[in-house]
């Protein structure tokens, strides 16, 4: 009985860094809750799950929210296996939109799907077709949708790895199709995993650089006066150290009451610099700071518990 009770409570216990197994975490604030949507760790099935916290320390798995095996178009490419990778959540007009990557890239191209629902846990209804499909020189992975509070337009950022090409689209009003693609200048040192956030009047485009499974993986960023550039490269803010390798594919979140900012990212728990790394990737959270000019200060990875940050509206 004690073991059963302990197993029930484990998902509710506060964790030090790393907080969870997984990769590619998309973090969001909805109401008084923080939400995490990662690439699931060690799952044999192509699924996505949601994790919820009220303080950034204690996380609860709220269950599976999307199963690729139940989406007919996913299997239409005939590939024997599909990966459920790098999701993102956006909200507009009271509705939630869940964007996700479908692997593999070879021999069939990667694709991006989108589903919609009434809450961060759904139930989500898939749109019924791919939103975007990769092709030679472009890998359709790592979607991120930013709804600009200054005007309400929604911007879709996607791409990386094969070709290391970032593409940007303006979303249509339905949030499940594109209005247009915007030509942009490629950000310096961009590899994959783009994320956009706004602080004051400055737009921060951050992204991963390097190889996903070695110590070169790192987070860089650029700033711009608009969601589509022009980008001013600002440098690397998160990189491997003596205890952790390959930090990246991150997201930024703000406590709207305290105005504190945090980065959620994945990393390998090893001091070994040369791959292959043992074990899977883990998720961690660090508080970030900006200087007087609005530049993000270099981020130090920690093994401590993330700071408590309760949302009060």
Burial group, residue 105, by CB count within 10 angstroms (0-12, 13-18, 19+): middle
Closest among 6, 30, 141, 17 to 86, alpha carbons compared: 141
* Coil, strand or helix at 127: coil
Give the model's pLDDT for residue 82.
96
Catalytic residue among 40, 126, 139, 192: 192
Q: What percent of the chain has pLDDT over 90?
A: 90
- Report the pLDDT value the prediction gives residue 14, as an integer from 0 to 100: 53
State the CB neighbour count (10 A cutoff) for residue 40: 21
pLDDT reported for residue 195: 98
Q: Could you tell me which CATH number the domain at 2-288 has?
A: 2.115.10.20
Neighbouring-strand partners of residue 285: 264
For the question of residue 192 being annotated catalytic, the response is: yes
CA 28/CA 67 separation, integer angstroms: 21
Kindly state the DSSP code that residue 41 receives in the 8-state scheme: S
d(CA 295, CA 288): 11
pLDDT one digit per residue (tens) for the chain, 313 residues: 444 333 444 445 557 999 999 999 999 999 999 999 999 998 889 999 999 999 999 999 999 999 999 999 999 999 999 999 999 999 999 999 999 999 998 899 999 999 999 999 999 999 999 999 999 889 999 999 999 999 999 999 999 998 899 999 999 999 999 999 999 999 999 999 999 999 999 999 999 999 999 999 999 999 999 999 999 999 999 999 999 999 999 999 999 999 999 999 999 999 999 999 988 999 999 999 999 999 999 999 999 999 999 999 8
**Integer Cα distance of 286 and 152 in angstroms:** 29
Structure tokens at 184: 């942009």
| 134-161: b (≥16 Cβ within 10 Å) or e | beeebbbbbbbbbbeeeeeebbbbbbbb
> Which one of the listed residues 21, 24, 40, 136 is annotated catalytic?
24
Q: Parse the chain into domains and list their residue ranges.
A: 2-288
Alpha carbons 17 and 306: distance in angstroms, whole number:
7
Residue linked to tokens 């923080």: 34
CA distance 286 to 299: 8
Q: What is the dihedral of CA 16, 17, 21, 27, to 10 degrees?
A: 110
Q: Active site includes 214? A: no
Q: Can you say whether residue 127 is alpha, beta or left, with left for phi > 0 and alpha for psi between -120 and 50 degrees? A: alpha
pTM of the model: 0.94
């Amino acid at each position: 009985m004690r073991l059963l009770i302990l197993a029930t409570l484990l998902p509710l216990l506060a964790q030090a860094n790393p907080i969870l197994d997984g990769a590619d975490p998309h973090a969001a604030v909805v109401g008084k809750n923080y939400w995490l949507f990662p690439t699931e760790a060690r799952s044999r099935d192509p699924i996505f799950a949601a994790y919820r916290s009220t303080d950034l320390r204690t996380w609860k798995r709220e269950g599976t929210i999307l199963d690729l095996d139940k989406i007919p178009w996913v299997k239409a490419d005939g590939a024997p296996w599909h990966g459920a990778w790098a999701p993102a959540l956006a909200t507009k007009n009271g509705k939630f939109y869940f964007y996700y990557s479908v692997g593999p890239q070879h021999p069939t191209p990667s694709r991006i799907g989108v589903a919609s629902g009434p809450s961060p846990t759904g139930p989500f209804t898939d749109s019924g077709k791919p939103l975007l499909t990769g092709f030679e020189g472009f890998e359709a992975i790592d979607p991120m949708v930013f709804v600009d509070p200054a005007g309400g337009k929604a911007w879709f950022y996607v791409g990386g790895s094969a070709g290391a090409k970032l593409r940007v689209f303006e979303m249509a009003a339905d949030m499940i199709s594109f209005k247009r693609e915007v030509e942009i200048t490629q950000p310096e040192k961009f590899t994959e995993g783009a994320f956009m956030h706004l602080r004051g009047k400055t737009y921060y485009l951050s992204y991963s650089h390097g190889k996903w499974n070695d110590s070169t993986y790192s987070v860089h960023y650029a700033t711009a006066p608009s969601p589509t550039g022009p980008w001013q490269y600002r440098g690397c803010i998160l990189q491997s150290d003596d205890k952790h390798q390959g930090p990246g594919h991150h997201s930024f979140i703000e406590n709207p009451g305290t105005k504190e900012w945090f980065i959620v990212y994945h990393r390998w728990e090893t001091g070994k610099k040369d791959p292959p790394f043992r074990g899977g990737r883990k998720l961690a959270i660090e508080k970030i700071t900006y200087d007087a000019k609005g530049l993000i200060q270099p981020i130090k990875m920690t093994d401590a518990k993330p700071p408590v940050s309760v949302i009060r509206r």
